[in-house]
Amino acid sequence: MSQDCKKLVLHDKHASLGARFAPFAGFEMPMHYTGIKDEHACVREKVGIFDVSHMGAFYLEGADAVRAIDHIVSNDISSLPMGKAAYTVMCVEAGGIVDDLIVYKLADNKVLAIVNASRAAVDFEHMNKHLAGKVKLTNRSDDFVMLAVQGPSAEAVVNPLVVAELKDLVYYGAVETKLVSGVAVTVARTGYTGEDGFEILIPNAQASTFYDQLMEAGRAYGIQPIGLGARDTLRLEAKLPLYGHELSLDINPLEAGLHWVVKLGKEVPFVGQDALVDLKGAGLKRRLRGVIMRERGVLRPDYPLFAGAEQVGVLCSGGPSPTLGYSIGIAYIAIAHADDKDGVEVEIRGKRSPVELTTKPFYKRG
């Protein structure tokens, strides 16, 4: 393991639980414990706990906090009710994506932004560059442990441990509350798995005890620790994008299918808005699509896609779906072929196999 990798606050706990580690975004992260397929099924059918403390946590505080973040991100944070979160993106002036993130409107003068670990330093610099008004931006990523409890039994596990009544917390709702032990925490009904669940920020000093409490509360529900390997297969089945794969500075949110988080008419113009207006008017050249291969074989990133002799796309992500039993992927497809019902093939080691394109998630709970 590289000596340059940071260790999570709960590293030793994960090691004691049998974690196998690998470098990811500058951290030594648990990849799996009992195995990816087993952990994947646990989250789909029961409940699992992830340590996602590698994610960045930025606070914007001050009288202009909401207006300031609205200038930086594409979604309309000003129109959010208090205690709600929004998935959104930050763009450069040319329209490319700096990062995707979740913004939590905790108060009129307090906003929390959770960003990708691999982009945290870039994101903080980008936010500082475009910050305006009476607002202070603080990077508090090292102050908290972030745990994600995900799966059908997530509410039953977390609810007894917190003061807030979680059945009243709507999807993408967020609340600053306390544990029954008195420790201040932030709880959000968000996740990256396609299942119900919660992401919880807790101060470092109290994190180990809380992790143990979650494991004990979840024992009756079959809770297991879950690594990043299963987190990736879960997000792929839900067709959720990953920065560096489906999103990058060379990709704009419109072609990424994120038009629903791009509010071109909101009150506060955002960085990259003018470019996106122009790109929308000119027409998109490619669209993001799901790819299904029912024949034997495994879709992998960078595999090319063809319609006849013409290469029409390339896979950004891919792998076997533990839930569905066949291989799935995500790719950008040339606009002329983005809605093709058949005739698209993937090339794997010189051999072509037919695939299906879809605009829908591969898996949807319920």
* Neighbour tally for 322: CB within 10 Å: 19
Quote the tokens at residue 80. 């959010």
Question: What is residue 160's predicted lDDT score, i.e. its pLDDT?
Answer: 98
Question: What is residue 27's predicted lDDT score, i.e. its pLDDT?
Answer: 97
Express as a percent the part of the chain with pLDDT over 90.
98
Strand order in the sheet with 27-32: 6-7, 27-32, 20-24
Q: Measured between alpha carbons, how far is 158 from 145 in angstroms, rounded to an integer?
A: 16
89 vs 366, residue with greater confidence: 89
Residue reference for tokens 């790109």? 279
Whether residue 82 is predicted with pLDDT greater than 60 in this model: the reply is: yes
Residue 85: CA atoms inside 13 Å, Cβ hemisphere, count? 24
Residues of the chain with CATH 3.30.1360.120: 6-52+142-237
pLDDT, average across residues 251-279: 97
The 10s digit of each residue's pLDDT in 128-138 is 999 999 999 99
pLDDT, average across residues 146-155: 98
Question: If one looks up domain 6-52+142-237 in CATH, what number appears?
Answer: 3.30.1360.120
Q: Measured between alpha carbons, how far is 45 from 193 in angstroms, rounded to an integer?
A: 12
Confidence of residue 3 (pLDDT cuts 50, 70, 90): low
Confidence of residue 18 (pLDDT cuts 50, 70, 90): very high
Question: What is residue 366's predicted lDDT score, i.e. its pLDDT?
Answer: 79
Cβ(55)–Cβ(146) below 8 Å? yes
Residues of the chain with CATH 2.40.30.110: 285-366
Q: Measured between alpha carbons, how far is 57 from 91 in angstroms, rounded to an integer?
A: 19
The 10s digit of each residue's pLDDT in 277-327 is 999 999 999 999 999 999 999 999 999 999 999 999 999 999 999 999 999
pLDDT, average across residues 142-159: 98
Question: What is residue 4's predicted lDDT score, i.e. its pLDDT?
Answer: 83
CA distances from 345 to 330, 334, 360 (A): 14, 14, 19
Whether residue 51 is predicted with pLDDT greater than 60 in this model: the reply is: yes
Q: Helices (DSSP H) in the chain: which residue ranges? A: 11-16, 36-45, 65-72, 120-130, 154-158, 204-217, 228-237, 273-282
Whether residue 1 is predicted with pLDDT greater than 60 in this model: the reply is: no
Question: If one looks up domain 285-366 in CATH, what number appears?
Answer: 2.40.30.110
Q: Measured between alpha carbons, how far is 315 from 305 in angstroms, rounded to an integer?
A: 7
The 10s digit of each residue's pLDDT in 209-248 is 999 999 999 999 999 999 999 999 999 999 999 999 999 9
Cβ(57)–Cβ(144) below 8 Å? yes
Q: What is the mean pLDDT of the chain?
A: 97
First to last CA, the chain: 40
- Nearest residue to 180 via CA among 166, 169, 167, 164: 164
Express as a percent the part of the chain with pLDDT over 70.
99
